[in-house]
Chain A
Amino acid sequence: MDELEKMLLLEIADLHKVPDGAYNIRKNGEADGRRSTPHIRIEPRRDAKAGIDIFVSGETKGESVHIPVVITETDYKEKVYNDFYIEDGADVLIIAGCGIHNCGQATSEHSGIHTFHVGKNARVRYVEKHYGSGEGGGENVMDPTTDIRLGEHSRLEMETTQIKGVDSTVRTTRAVLEAGAELVIREKIYTHGRQYAKTDFSVQLNGDGAGADVVSRSVAAEQSRQEFTLRIDGNGRCHGHSECDAIIMDDAKVVAIPALAANSVDAELIHEAAIGKIAGEQLLKLMTLGLTEQEAEEQIIKGFLS
């Protein structure tokens, strides 16, 4: 693995070396290393599509799976399907992410379609980072789709972050929750230049006691554009909360379109949305501590997205 690939791995998965536990590293469309463990099996897909199947046994407690994707070629496009089968009672950390370094003039593109079948009482933490770099004129495009099916009393926590270098992204997340299941999503996005980011969440709260908490924080700078759409359907005695908080700077544009649908009298659904520039008094407070206006801005954004 060369320095560039190592840098990408560090950015997206905090990996300095081959990870402990199960992993699958995908590099320019090829498997660049794979390891299964007694509890976590990684296998090629049974259909013709690109991607892997990941089987997490119910015995798994506090283990991790790393499945980073690295692309260093220009004009390279792929669509990858990864399916996670998480047995009842498992407890697992999944670290995914995609890093593209595109030095060329043509677009490179990765679409990861991740499907989670989460069994009863299972616990999943899913961390996903998207990062792009490269000095060429070629665009880095990532269109992740996440499909989540949460069994009774299971819980999935998803942290998704896109801080740098992704020129265009459409992020689609769909979740269906059975009784007592819990979904927590934390999204962080920073766009600048002429970047475009669209996020689309749709959550079906089907069972009694199901709950979802979706929080998106984003900063749109320069001429970038962001769109946030969300829909939570409450179909029983359930609670849903979503929050979309955007800082807008320069000539950026942000659209937030939240929707709540209560199909049961016992559904409790809340949405909070706020879009605005950095509050003047926040800048002033930090300036009274000796920071310049620009330093203050950087600190506020860093805190907001941390």
Chain B
Amino acid sequence: MLELRHIGFVAADGDANKEILDDVSLTVNEPFVAITGPNGSGKSTLAKIIAGILTPTEGKIFLDGEDITGLSVTERARRGISYAFQQPVRFKGLTVKDLISLAAGKKLTVSEVCGFLSEVGLCARDYIDREVNASLSGGELKRIEIATVLARSKGLTVFDEPEAGIDLWSFQSLISVFEKMHARTKGNILIISHQERILNIADRIVVIAGGRVQKDGTREEVLPGLLAGRMCPALQG
């Protein structure tokens, strides 16, 4: 279980300070929790704060009751937090197999790596020895990113817009990736998404707007309102 208590984040923006998150509190205790909200509302910032990449200027983070606010990225990863980046990182020289092995924390056999790649819809043979460099397309890179967190399959996994750039291999397969992952880990999966079909599988939906939690409730409570206000005037507030 993950708990965020009164998280605030202020970024130094030139000479001025920019408040990006303001008093965000939420709990992730269900299998699937979705965060949604307008572009620039602070969702990825929140994901980075959970992973330890950014340090909140206010508030505390608890993982299974332990205060992890002061822990490094590495320590959090070792306690079971995984984070699939919105914009995956490219590496000159590291191959897909290297990266997935590092994620798994051990040397994987070719067939194990292939297993993860086919789960994300990549024909493994074509990718296993490729470098994770600029020659991969955006969608390929995104799938490999998802494969890295699959290979970890730990207690809490944060996906930052996993659907972005992914074609019609599609939502159904992506959703089955989440479901298999949950079946394996019995952990919690936090998905940042703009897609109705992903929000549809969430046990809970949190709406972030302007750096604050605007709504937080079960899917049944939150989704109808989101769909009704499709053009989102409500979200802008």
Given contacts A287-B73, A288-B82, A289-B148, contact A306 B93 (CB under 8 A): yes
Complex contact A289–B77 (CB within 8 A)? yes
Contact of B53 with A284 in the complex, beta carbons under 8 Å: yes
B92 interfacial by beta-carbon distance below 8 Å: yes
Which residues in A have their C-beta under 8 angstroms from that of B51? 288
Decide yes or no whether A285 CB sits under 8 A from chain B: yes
Within 8 A of B (CB), among A258-306: 279, 281-282, 284-293, 299-300, 302-306
A299-B98, A303-B98 given; A292·B92 CB < 8 A: no
Shortest beta-carbon distance from B81 to chain A in Å? 8
Query: Chain A residues with Cβ under 8 A from B103's Cβ?
Result: 289
- Determine the chain A residues whose CB is within 8 A of the CB of B74 once the complex forms: 287, 290-293
Partner pick for B91 among A245, A282, A288, A305, CB 8 A cutoff? A282
- Are B94 and A288 within 8 A (Cβ)? no
In chain A, what residue has the closest Cβ to B82?
A288
The CB with the most chain B CB atoms within 10 A, among A281, A288, A302, is that of A288
In the complex, are the beta carbons of B91 and A303 less than 8 A apart?
Answer: yes
A168–B121 Cα distance when bound, in Å, is 49
Instruction: State whether B98 touches A282 (Cβ < 8 A).
Output: no
Q: Are A285 and B93 in contact (CB under 8 A)?
A: no
Q: Is B230 an interface residue (CB 8 A)?
A: no
Q: Contact size class for B?
A: 20 to 34
Contacts of A284 in B (CB 8 A): 53, 73, 89
Residues in A neighbouring B53, C-beta threshold 8 A: 284, 288
With A284-B53, A284-B73: A291-B102 Cβ-Cβ less than 8 Å: yes
A300 touches B83 (CB 8 A): no
| Residue B72 interfacial (CB < 8 Å) | yes
Task: Give Cα A306 to B131, complex, Å.
Answer: 11
Given contacts A284-B53, A288-B82, A290-B74, contact A304 B98 (CB under 8 A): no
Q: Report the Cα distance A265→B83, complex, angstroms.
A: 51
Cβ contact within 8 Å between A288 and B102:
no
Q: In the bound complex, how far is the Cα of B214 from the Cα of A168, in angstroms?
A: 63
A304 touches B92 (CB 8 A): yes
Closest to B89 in A: A285
How far, in angstroms, from A302 to B92 measured CA to CA in the complex? Answer: 10
Residues of chain A contacted by B81 (CB below 8 angstroms): 288
Task: Chain B residues near A217: list those with CB within 8 A.
Answer: 92-93
- Interface 0/1 of B73-86, CB less than 8 Å to A: 11001100111010
| Bound Cα distance from A240 to B93, whole angstroms | 22
Q: Which residues of chain B have a CB within 8 Å of any CB of chain A?
A: 51, 53, 72-74, 77-78, 81-83, 85, 88-89, 91-95, 98, 102-103, 105, 148, 152
Q: What are 8 contact pairs spanning A and B, CB under 8 A?
A: A217-B92, A285-B89, A287-B72, A287-B74, A289-B148, A290-B105, A299-B94, A303-B95
Nearest first, the 3 A-B pairs at minimum CB distance are: A303-B93, A303-B94, A304-B93
Kindly list 11 other residue pairs between chains A and B, CB separation below 8 angstroms, not including A288-B77, A289-B148, A304-B92.
A217-B93, A282-B91, A285-B85, A285-B89, A290-B74, A290-B152, A300-B94, A302-B93, A303-B94, A304-B93, A305-B93
